[in-house]
Amino acid sequence: MQSLKILLLGAAIGLATALPAAASSSAWYNSEGGKVRLVTSGKADAAGRIQGVLDIALKPGWKTYWRDPGDAGVPPQLDISASTNIADAQLSFPAPQRHDDGYGKWAGYNYPVSLPVVFTLSAAQNPAVIDADIFLGICETICIPVQTRLTVDPGSDPDNAEDTALVKASFAALPTPARSDFGINVLPGDHETLVVEASFPGDPEAADFFVAGERDYMFGTPARSEKDGKLIFTVPILDRPSTTPTDGGLHYTLTSSTGAVEGLLPFP
């Protein structure tokens, strides 16, 4: 993963602009380890939201990152500031896997993945064009930064059944909201440790806990233990803000052999 830091100095390696597509999806942008595009459902709902996905087609042996990539990775980023009538874009993430590449442990995907995104229009009844600057890392033995602009006119092909099916399937594959029998309970920790008790169905050996380092938090790899028949994850807090935030929380995902859930946990 350290190789990524070197390659980021020359991020222009992956810098290009994909040509617009006359459809509810963009053209593919090709890179060494795979290709990426934006796909939309084509139609805004009554509240002015358009569902879409950042579609990442990885080549065999290549990987990309979850929302928290570890201490040396690059999470997928999407900047819509150049768009027309698009006020916001929020990425969501399928449940990741934990990887160890010899340089460090990190969370991500070693298979083609579609990241759901919700675009919010500035004016719900007006047409929109998405001009999204994309930045992500795609890794084999080294990591290649991929940077491009993807353009979509969602209204150009609003009834594209294939695009709509892909978007629907990607949202359906997201972790479901945490619940009492499948979720976490935050236990007392200290300034340097986050401790959670996990409840989940299925094989305990298949369970894993992922917490995103956001708002100046950075976390290490969780350690597993058992207490009173419950699985405990103890997560090192490697860095934290000088003042604990009072609004929102940290995204987490809990996986098991039967599925995955996600939620927000209080800032430790």
pLDDT at position 87, please?
A: 96
Mean pLDDT score, 173-181? 96
Q: Give the integer Cα–Cα distance in Å for 241 and 215.
A: 7
Q: What are phi and psi of 158, to 5 degrees?
A: -70, -15
Check: pTM over 0.75? Answer yes or no.
Answer: yes
Which tens digits make up the pLDDT trace of 28-48? 999 999 999 999 998 889 899
**Full DSSP string of 67-110:** SS--SS----EEE-TTSBSEEEEEE-----EEEE-SS-EEEEES
- For residue 172, give both structure tokens: 């359906």
Mean pLDDT score, 188-204? 94
Residue 72 has pLDDT above 60, yes or no: yes
Burial of 243 (0-12, 13-18, 19+ CB in 10 A): exposed
Q: Which residues neighbour 225 within 8 Å (Cβ) at sequence distance 6 or greater?
A: 231, 232, 234
Percentage, residues of the chain above pLDDT 90: 72
pLDDT at position 234, please?
A: 97
Comparing 149 with 43, the larger pLDDT belongs to 149
pLDDT at position 23, please?
A: 60
